[in-house]
Amino acid sequence: MGRAIARCILDGAVPGLRLSGAVEYAGSPALGQDAGSLAGCKPAGVTLTADLRAALAEADVAIDFSAPEATAEHAASVVSARVAWVIGTTGLSGDQCQNVTEAAATVPVVMAPNMSLGVNLLMLLVEQAARALAGRGYDIEIIERHHRRKKDSPSGTAIGLGEAAARGSNWTLSDVARHGRSGIVSGDRPTEEIGFHAVRGGDFVGDHTVVFAAEGESVELAHRATSRDTFAVGALQAAAWLNDKPAGLYTMVDVLGLQG
Protein backbone atom coordinates (compact mmCIF):
# COMPACT_ATOMS: atom_id res chain seq x y z
CA MET A 1 0.00 0.00 0.00
CA GLY A 2 2.86 2.40 0.69
CA ARG A 3 4.15 1.99 -2.85
CA ALA A 4 0.66 2.33 -4.31
CA ILE A 5 0.06 5.54 -2.34
CA ALA A 6 3.42 7.01 -3.36
CA ARG A 7 2.82 6.12 -7.01
CA CYS A 8 -0.67 7.63 -7.02
CA ILE A 9 0.60 10.86 -5.45
CA LEU A 10 3.43 11.14 -7.95
CA ASP A 11 1.09 10.36 -10.84
CA GLY A 12 -1.29 13.11 -9.72
CA ALA A 13 -4.23 10.80 -9.07
CA VAL A 14 -5.62 13.36 -6.59
CA PRO A 15 -4.58 16.92 -7.54
CA GLY A 16 -2.90 19.19 -5.03
CA LEU A 17 -1.02 16.55 -3.05
CA ARG A 18 2.75 16.27 -2.71
CA LEU A 19 4.80 13.43 -1.25
CA SER A 20 6.81 14.97 1.60
CA GLY A 21 8.02 11.89 3.47
CA ALA A 22 7.92 8.10 3.55
CA VAL A 23 8.34 5.81 6.56
CA GLU A 24 9.25 2.15 6.96
CA TYR A 25 9.91 0.00 10.00
CA ALA A 26 13.36 -0.02 11.57
CA GLY A 27 15.49 -2.64 9.86
CA SER A 28 13.57 -2.63 6.58
CA PRO A 29 15.82 -3.29 3.58
CA ALA A 30 14.08 -0.41 1.80
CA LEU A 31 15.41 2.24 4.20
CA GLY A 32 17.54 4.84 2.47
CA GLN A 33 16.00 4.23 -0.94
CA ASP A 34 14.01 6.77 -2.91
CA ALA A 35 10.25 6.37 -2.44
CA GLY A 36 9.50 7.23 -6.06
CA SER A 37 11.93 4.66 -7.42
CA LEU A 38 10.51 1.97 -5.11
CA ALA A 39 7.02 2.82 -6.35
CA GLY A 40 8.09 2.32 -9.95
CA CYS A 41 8.17 6.04 -10.76
CA LYS A 42 10.98 8.51 -11.37
CA PRO A 43 12.95 9.52 -8.24
CA ALA A 44 10.85 11.69 -5.94
CA GLY A 45 13.64 13.12 -3.81
CA VAL A 46 12.05 11.49 -0.75
CA THR A 47 14.13 8.92 1.10
CA LEU A 48 12.54 6.18 3.16
CA THR A 49 13.26 6.60 6.86
CA ALA A 50 12.35 4.91 10.13
CA ASP A 51 12.15 8.30 11.85
CA LEU A 52 8.43 9.14 11.83
CA ARG A 53 8.81 12.49 13.59
CA ALA A 54 11.36 13.64 11.00
CA ALA A 55 9.08 12.51 8.17
CA LEU A 56 6.16 14.46 9.62
CA ALA A 57 8.14 17.70 9.88
CA GLU A 58 7.10 18.84 6.39
CA ALA A 59 3.72 17.10 6.27
CA ASP A 60 0.13 18.28 6.60
CA VAL A 61 -1.38 14.77 6.62
CA ALA A 62 0.00 11.36 7.56
CA ILE A 63 -1.39 8.28 5.76
CA ASP A 64 -1.00 5.14 7.84
CA PHE A 65 -1.26 1.60 6.45
CA SER A 66 0.96 -0.21 8.91
CA ALA A 67 0.32 -2.71 11.72
CA PRO A 68 -2.00 -2.30 14.72
CA GLU A 69 0.84 -1.94 17.21
CA ALA A 70 2.61 0.60 15.01
CA THR A 71 -0.51 2.66 14.35
CA ALA A 72 -1.23 2.88 18.09
CA GLU A 73 2.33 4.07 18.70
CA HIS A 74 2.10 6.64 15.89
CA ALA A 75 -0.63 8.57 17.71
CA ALA A 76 1.81 10.48 19.92
CA SER A 77 3.95 11.57 16.97
CA VAL A 78 0.94 12.66 14.92
CA VAL A 79 -0.43 14.74 17.79
CA SER A 80 2.99 16.26 18.51
CA ALA A 81 3.39 17.26 14.86
CA ARG A 82 -0.22 18.54 14.67
CA VAL A 83 -0.86 16.81 11.35
CA ALA A 84 -4.09 15.23 10.15
CA TRP A 85 -4.13 11.42 10.09
CA VAL A 86 -5.64 8.95 7.63
CA ILE A 87 -5.69 5.39 9.00
CA GLY A 88 -6.25 2.33 6.82
CA THR A 89 -4.69 -0.13 9.27
CA THR A 90 -7.05 -2.91 10.36
CA GLY A 91 -7.09 -5.33 13.29
CA LEU A 92 -6.65 -2.75 16.06
CA SER A 93 -7.65 -3.82 19.57
CA GLY A 94 -9.89 -1.77 21.81
CA ASP A 95 -6.93 -0.21 23.61
CA GLN A 96 -5.21 0.59 20.31
CA CYS A 97 -8.38 2.23 18.99
CA GLN A 98 -8.47 4.29 22.17
CA ASN A 99 -5.10 5.82 21.20
CA VAL A 100 -6.66 6.89 17.90
CA THR A 101 -9.75 8.30 19.62
CA GLU A 102 -7.60 10.33 22.01
CA ALA A 103 -5.54 11.70 19.09
CA ALA A 104 -8.77 12.74 17.35
CA ALA A 105 -9.43 15.15 20.21
CA THR A 106 -6.43 17.16 18.97
CA VAL A 107 -6.15 16.48 15.21
CA PRO A 108 -8.61 15.46 12.49
CA VAL A 109 -8.54 11.71 11.82
CA VAL A 110 -10.17 9.57 9.13
CA MET A 111 -10.22 5.91 10.13
CA ALA A 112 -11.88 3.28 7.95
CA PRO A 113 -11.52 -0.47 7.39
CA ASN A 114 -11.61 0.19 3.64
CA MET A 115 -10.95 3.33 1.63
CA SER A 116 -12.76 2.50 -1.62
CA LEU A 117 -15.96 4.17 -2.77
CA GLY A 118 -17.39 0.80 -3.80
CA VAL A 119 -16.89 -0.88 -0.43
CA ASN A 120 -18.30 2.05 1.53
CA LEU A 121 -21.35 2.06 -0.74
CA LEU A 122 -21.61 -1.71 -0.20
CA MET A 123 -21.70 -1.19 3.57
CA LEU A 124 -24.64 1.17 3.23
CA LEU A 125 -26.45 -1.27 0.93
CA VAL A 126 -25.84 -4.15 3.35
CA GLU A 127 -27.32 -2.15 6.21
CA GLN A 128 -30.38 -1.29 4.12
CA ALA A 129 -30.80 -4.89 2.99
CA ALA A 130 -30.52 -6.19 6.54
CA ARG A 131 -33.12 -3.69 7.71
CA ALA A 132 -35.51 -4.78 4.97
CA LEU A 133 -34.95 -8.51 5.50
CA ALA A 134 -34.65 -8.65 9.31
CA GLY A 135 -37.21 -10.98 10.83
CA ARG A 136 -38.16 -12.44 7.45
CA GLY A 137 -36.16 -15.66 7.64
CA TYR A 138 -32.92 -14.53 5.95
CA ASP A 139 -29.62 -15.83 7.33
CA ILE A 140 -26.55 -13.59 6.96
CA GLU A 141 -23.13 -14.93 6.00
CA ILE A 142 -20.00 -12.96 5.04
CA ILE A 143 -17.22 -14.49 2.92
CA GLU A 144 -13.93 -12.68 2.30
CA ARG A 145 -10.83 -13.61 0.31
CA HIS A 146 -7.39 -12.04 0.60
CA HIS A 147 -3.80 -12.79 -0.38
CA ARG A 148 -1.71 -15.23 1.60
CA ARG A 149 0.29 -12.48 3.33
CA LYS A 150 -2.64 -10.79 5.08
CA LYS A 151 -2.19 -11.02 8.85
CA ASP A 152 -5.61 -10.29 10.38
CA SER A 153 -8.70 -12.43 9.96
CA PRO A 154 -11.50 -11.74 9.34
CA SER A 155 -10.60 -8.61 7.42
CA GLY A 156 -11.45 -5.20 8.76
CA THR A 157 -13.77 -4.76 5.80
CA ALA A 158 -15.60 -7.99 6.62
CA ILE A 159 -16.06 -6.80 10.20
CA GLY A 160 -17.32 -3.46 8.90
CA LEU A 161 -19.84 -5.29 6.71
CA GLY A 162 -20.87 -7.37 9.71
CA GLU A 163 -21.40 -4.23 11.76
CA ALA A 164 -23.53 -2.79 8.95
CA ALA A 165 -25.63 -5.95 8.81
CA ALA A 166 -25.99 -5.97 12.59
CA ARG A 167 -27.12 -2.33 12.65
CA GLY A 168 -29.70 -3.01 9.99
CA SER A 169 -30.96 -6.04 11.92
CA ASN A 170 -30.94 -4.17 15.25
CA TRP A 171 -28.41 -6.63 16.69
CA THR A 172 -25.05 -6.18 18.47
CA LEU A 173 -22.34 -7.78 16.34
CA SER A 174 -20.35 -9.16 19.26
CA ASP A 175 -23.46 -11.05 20.38
CA VAL A 176 -24.22 -12.67 17.01
CA ALA A 177 -20.86 -13.12 15.22
CA ARG A 178 -19.72 -16.66 14.44
CA HIS A 179 -16.30 -17.22 12.92
CA GLY A 180 -16.15 -20.34 10.76
CA ARG A 181 -17.77 -23.70 11.38
CA SER A 182 -16.57 -27.23 11.92
CA GLY A 183 -17.88 -30.47 13.38
CA ILE A 184 -21.44 -31.46 14.20
CA VAL A 185 -23.74 -28.90 15.80
CA SER A 186 -26.98 -29.57 17.58
CA GLY A 187 -30.13 -27.86 16.39
CA ASP A 188 -30.69 -25.43 13.54
CA ARG A 189 -28.62 -22.39 12.74
CA PRO A 190 -29.65 -19.54 15.07
CA THR A 191 -31.71 -16.82 13.45
CA GLU A 192 -29.70 -14.07 15.09
CA GLU A 193 -26.28 -14.98 13.75
CA ILE A 194 -23.80 -13.47 11.29
CA GLY A 195 -21.26 -15.95 9.98
CA PHE A 196 -17.73 -14.96 8.92
CA HIS A 197 -15.55 -17.05 6.61
CA ALA A 198 -12.01 -16.00 5.69
CA VAL A 199 -10.06 -17.36 2.71
CA ARG A 200 -6.30 -16.74 2.49
CA GLY A 201 -4.30 -17.63 -0.59
CA GLY A 202 -2.68 -16.46 -3.78
CA ASP A 203 -2.79 -12.79 -4.62
CA PHE A 204 -6.42 -11.80 -3.97
CA VAL A 205 -6.46 -8.03 -3.45
CA GLY A 206 -9.78 -8.22 -1.61
CA ASP A 207 -13.11 -9.94 -2.34
CA HIS A 208 -16.13 -9.56 -0.04
CA THR A 209 -19.57 -11.11 -0.39
CA VAL A 210 -22.53 -10.75 1.97
CA VAL A 211 -25.16 -13.46 1.56
CA PHE A 212 -28.77 -13.13 2.72
CA ALA A 213 -30.13 -16.68 2.43
CA ALA A 214 -33.74 -17.74 2.93
CA GLU A 215 -35.84 -20.74 2.05
CA GLY A 216 -36.27 -20.61 -1.72
CA GLU A 217 -33.96 -17.68 -2.56
CA SER A 218 -30.84 -15.79 -1.65
CA VAL A 219 -29.54 -12.27 -2.18
CA GLU A 220 -25.82 -11.56 -2.54
CA LEU A 221 -24.10 -8.17 -2.33
CA ALA A 222 -20.44 -8.26 -3.34
CA HIS A 223 -17.36 -6.18 -4.09
CA ARG A 224 -14.15 -7.28 -5.78
CA ALA A 225 -10.98 -5.18 -5.76
CA THR A 226 -8.56 -5.82 -8.60
CA SER A 227 -5.96 -3.15 -7.78
CA ARG A 228 -4.60 -1.62 -4.58
CA ASP A 229 -4.72 1.73 -6.36
CA THR A 230 -8.44 1.78 -5.51
CA PHE A 231 -7.59 1.96 -1.81
CA ALA A 232 -4.66 4.33 -2.37
CA VAL A 233 -6.80 6.86 -4.25
CA GLY A 234 -9.46 6.65 -1.53
CA ALA A 235 -6.82 7.35 1.13
CA LEU A 236 -5.56 10.32 -0.87
CA GLN A 237 -9.10 11.65 -1.23
CA ALA A 238 -9.40 11.39 2.54
CA ALA A 239 -6.11 13.26 2.98
CA ALA A 240 -7.26 16.10 0.71
CA TRP A 241 -10.67 16.23 2.44
CA LEU A 242 -9.08 16.52 5.90
CA ASN A 243 -7.09 19.62 4.95
CA ASP A 244 -9.44 22.17 6.55
CA LYS A 245 -11.37 19.98 8.99
CA PRO A 246 -11.45 20.48 12.76
CA ALA A 247 -10.21 17.82 15.16
CA GLY A 248 -12.47 14.79 15.28
CA LEU A 249 -12.85 11.18 14.22
CA TYR A 250 -14.30 10.81 10.70
CA THR A 251 -15.10 7.93 8.36
CA MET A 252 -15.03 7.42 4.62
CA VAL A 253 -18.79 7.97 4.57
CA ASP A 254 -17.97 11.55 5.63
CA VAL A 255 -15.22 11.88 3.02
CA LEU A 256 -17.30 10.53 0.15
CA GLY A 257 -20.50 12.28 1.17
CA LEU A 258 -22.49 9.04 1.16
CA GLN A 259 -25.80 8.96 2.95
CA GLY A 260 -27.45 5.97 4.56
Say what angle helices 2-10 and 229-241 make with each other, to 10 degrees: 70
Q: Are residues 135 and 206 in the same domain?
A: yes
The range of the structural domain enclosing residue 6 comes to: 2-115+228-256
Taking the mean position of all CA atoms in its chain, how far away is CA 27? 26
132 and 185, same domain (yes or no): yes
Q: What pairing do the DSSP bridges indicate for beta strands 206-214 and 217-225?
A: antiparallel
Please check whether residues 166 and 221 belong to one and the same domain: yes
User: Which pLDDT score is estimated for 189?
Assistant: 94
Burial annotation 119-148 (CB, 10 A radius, 16+ → b, else e) = bbbbbebbbebbeebbeeebbbbbbbbbee
- CA–CA gap between residue 142 and residue 195 (Å, rounded): 6
74 and 152 in a single domain? The answer is: no
pLDDT, residue 114, reads 92
Q: Indicate if 79 and 91 belong to the same structural domain.
A: yes
Distance CA 120, CA 256 (A): 9
66 and 191 part of one domain: no
**Of 146, 197, 208, 223, which one is the catalytic site residue?**
146
Q: Are residues 13 and 78 in the same domain?
A: yes
Residue of 42, 74, 147, 150 marked catalytic: 150
Q: What is the CATH number of the domain that holds 204?
A: 3.30.360.10
91 and 169, same structural domain?
no
Residue 146 appears among annotated catalytic residues: yes
The pLDDT score that the predictor gives to residue 206 is 95
10-residue mean pLDDT series, the chain (260 residues):
96 96 95 96 95 96 96 97 96 95 98 93 96 96 97 93 98 97 90 97 97 98 95 96 95 85
CATH assignment at residue 247: 3.40.50.720
Q: What is the pTM of this model?
A: 0.83
- Answer yes or no: are the C-beta atoms of 123 and 198 closer than 8 Å: no
Q: So what's the pLDDT on residue 10?
A: 96
Q: Is the dihedral of CA 89, 59, 236, 41 positive or negative?
A: negative
Same-domain check for residues 38 and 106: yes
Task: Report the Cα 191 to chain-centroid distance in Å.
Answer: 29
Indicate left, alpha or beta for 237 from its phi (over 0: left) and psi (-120 to 50: alpha): alpha
Number of domains present in the structure of the chain:
2
132 and 170 both lie in a single domain: yes
> Could you tell me if 137 and 237 lie in one domain?
no
* 208 labelled catalytic: no
DSSP bridge partners of 133: none
**What pLDDT, on the 0 to 100 scale, is given for residue 243?**
87
95 and 6 inside one domain: yes
pLDDT of residue 84: 98
